[in-house]
Structure 1
Amino acid sequence: MFNSFSERYADQVKLVTDALDQAGINNVLWGHVIEHFLEKSVSSCIDYIIHDGMAEKACQTLLAAGLEPCENGGECTATRHWEDRMEVAAHVHLEGTTLGGNKIPVMFWEKSSLLWAFPELPSSPPSSDDPYYMPIRIPWTYYDSRSQRPPIDLTPARMIKPVKIVEALIWLMCRDRNPNEGLEWGWEHRWQEILESWVQKAPGLAEHGLFCRNELRPDFLPLWDYLCGGEGGQTPKKHRAHYLGLQAKLRAENTLPSTPQPKRRTMKRLMQIIEYHSEKEYQKRVKRYSGNTPWIEED
């Protein structure tokens, strides 16, 4: 692949996927592991999405295959509390000597928490015409236009098609979007950061037939086209309007579940809210009596 370490890493991904398949646990790779493969590197974790209620079986399957339980407790990067991300359902670790002392976590996420709008997860490498999932076969010309090397092939591992990863992130943005993000920063900011990275990847993927804009859900196309339109015509107000408008439409159709992110109204947060509204009231009065305008428009 890229070097001896990344080749061993890819072999471990294949072995883990095969073990899950043999145990009848439908799965698809997700997250940083895919992004890093597309950036010609490897991730410090391996994320799988599996069906709900299968996390414990997945862990037991991999422990029997030679992986190790977590020994780091709350200090483990897989379980450490982060306010801007969901909690993983379960995880184990690759045995340290396998990858030169790196005990990489293999993490499991339940399908309903990320892909509730998607069809059943694949139980084997999907066919070439599957609209949602694909085998991981990345042409080397994606990295080097002059390369004659064969594609990177991680079969039996599979991934969500890049255009559908974008779709999933938009679903998640709408689910977790806070109507007053000026005060409450939640998971939507993590989803947005990832989505913006796919905006950068999409043109190169499209050149190799790995990203087709027209396969995106039609309701999501205006938002995607806005994000891809460059920063010239983008403003925070327009950005927010695109998301909140789509969020309202999906809620009206009863296709958007409520966000599972916890409300974090600590005393510190309450003081921030008070200060925020006090500052807005102050600015309103300044403009009202400055002679520039008789009144400030509400957001």
Structure 2
Amino acid sequence: MFDSFSELYADQLKLITDALDQAGINNVLWGHVIERFLEEHVSSGIECIIHDGMAEKACQTLLAAGLEPCKYGEECPATRHRQDRPDAVAHVHLEATTLGCDIPVMFWEKSSLLWAFPELPSSPPSSDDPYYMPIRIPWTYYRNAATPAKAARGHRASSAAVNASRSQRPPIDLTPARMLKPVKIVEALIWLMCRDRNPNEGLECGWEHRWQKVLDSWVQKAPGLAKHGLFCRNELRPGFLPLWDYLCGGEGEQTPEKHRAHYLGLQAKLRAENALPSSPQPKRRTVEEIEHENWKRYQKFVKRYSGNTPWIEED
């Protein structure tokens, strides 16, 4: 990919996908690993979507391929409950001896994220698959994403030279690893926002904040991806286009009222069509409950490292 560590990381992505494929476990990469890859970086975690009921087999498959079981318990970042994100159904670890740092490999069941999408691919999808794609990105995508800032500093000539050089290089290819097409990632995030949108968002916190944050990052990535044929607005479901266009600035000034109206309107439409499943998340927590849990976590941290806080209560 971009340096020696990234190349080792890419090799592990390929190994993981190949092992799952050989075991008959359909899978696609998802989440931060894809977002970071498109930003010319690597992620501190690897997330895979697999079919329901396959998590145990997936874990055993990767353990047999050399990965390690979790040894961190409730302190593991892959399992610790987050206020704005659900928990993965299962996970294993790439140990530090592999990459020099511990990286969890997390599994999500398809029904929890992609219930409206077709079956996951069992091999690298074809170029005309409307939902899934091999992870194969041209080098010029990355260079063009950085060009405007450099041009502003008077580096147009050097940027053009680098672009010309990179245009001759083969694309970064992580086959057999695959991902959702970027436009379908956007679609999946809109589905999730509508499923988890909280009508009392001022009082309670739910996962919609996580999905919105990720969706905002794709708003920024979409123009650069579109220039390389990697994002086509018209491949979104027609009913989702008004919301997407609004997020991309199609209505001028954005306001909380407009934002809310777009989401709740689409949510109501999808619920009327019985197209939204019930969210599998636990009971939503109030802001006060979240703040209390954060305070308790801070107390435990202080007690662990100070050794002189007898007033702190244990659970």
TM-score under structure 2 normalisation?
A: 0.83
Equivalent positions of 1:177-196 (< 5 A) are: 177-196=197-216
1:96 is matched with 96
SS of residue matched to 1:122: coil
Aligned length: 271
CA distance in 1 between partners of 2:287 and 2:226 (Å): 48
2:266 is matched with 246
SS of residue matched to 1:108: strand
User: Which piece of structure 1 moves more, 180-189 or 11-20?
Assistant: 180-189
1:233 positional shift: 1.8
Equivalent positions of 1:47-58 (< 5 A) are: 47-58=47-58
CA distance in 2 between partners of 1:255 and 1:208 (Å): 32
User: For 1:61-112, what per-residue CA distance to the aligned partner results, in whole angstroms no more than 9, with x for missing partners?
Assistant: 0001110000011111100111211110000001321102x12100000000
User: Which piece of structure 1 moves more, 227-236 or 136-145?
Assistant: 227-236
Tell whether the 8 Å contact from 2:93 to 2:102 is kept in structure 1 after alignment: yes
CA distance in 1 between partners of 2:243 and 2:250 (Å): 12
Equivalent positions of 1:1-299 (< 5 A) are: 1-100=1-100, 102-145=101-144, 146=163, 147=166, 148-229=168-249, 232-264=252-284, 268=288
1:275 is matched with none
1:264 positional shift: 3.6
CA distance in 2 between partners of 1:200 and 1:230 (Å): 14
1:262 positional shift: 2.2
SS of residue matched to 2:52: coil
CA distance in 1 between partners of 2:184 and 2:8 (Å): 28
CA distance in 2 between partners of 1:56 and 1:17 (Å): 16
Tell whether the 8 Å contact from 1:66 to 1:95 is kept in structure 2 after alignment: no
CA distance in 1 between partners of 2:213 and 2:287 (Å): 28
CA distance in 2 between partners of 1:222 and 1:231 (Å): 10
User: For 1:155-209, what per-residue CA distance to the aligned partner results, in whole angstroms no more than 9, with x for missing partners?
Assistant: 0000000000000000000000001111112100000000000000000000000
1:267 positional shift: 10
1:292 is matched with none
SS of residue matched to 2:70: coil
CA distance in 1 between partners of 2:181 and 2:55 (Å): 23
What's the C-alpha RMSD, in Å, of the aligned pairs? Answer: 1.8
1:283 is matched with none
User: Which piece of structure 1 moves more, 139-148 or 113-122?
Assistant: 139-148
SS of residue matched to 1:144: helix
1:126 positional shift: 0.2
User: For 1:24-75, what per-residue CA distance to the aligned partner results, in whole angstroms no more than 9, with x for missing partners?
Assistant: 0000000000001100000000000000000000000000111000001111
CA distance in 1 between partners of 2:95 and 2:132 (Å): 29
CA distance in 2 between partners of 1:231 and 1:254 (Å): 29
SS of residue matched to 2:216: helix
Aligned partner letter, 1:153: D
Rate the CA distance shift 1:267–1:165 in 2: closer, same or farther, 3 A: closer
CA distance in 2 between partners of 1:228 and 1:192 (Å): 13
Aligned partner letter, 2:280: P
Rate the CA distance shift 1:266–1:166 in 2: closer, same or farther, 3 A: closer
Aligned partner letter, 1:78: A
Aligned partner letter, 2:72: N
Tell whether the 8 Å contact from 2:74 to 2:80 is kept in structure 1 after alignment: yes
Superposed structure 1 runs of 4+ greater than 4 Å apart: none
CA distance in 2 between partners of 1:267 and 1:191 (Å): 18
CA distance in 2 between partners of 1:137 and 1:249 (Å): 36
Rate the CA distance shift 1:71–1:220 in 2: closer, same or farther, 3 A: same
User: Which piece of structure 1 moves more, 257-266 or 208-217?
Assistant: 257-266
1:261 positional shift: 2.2
1:268 positional shift: 3.8
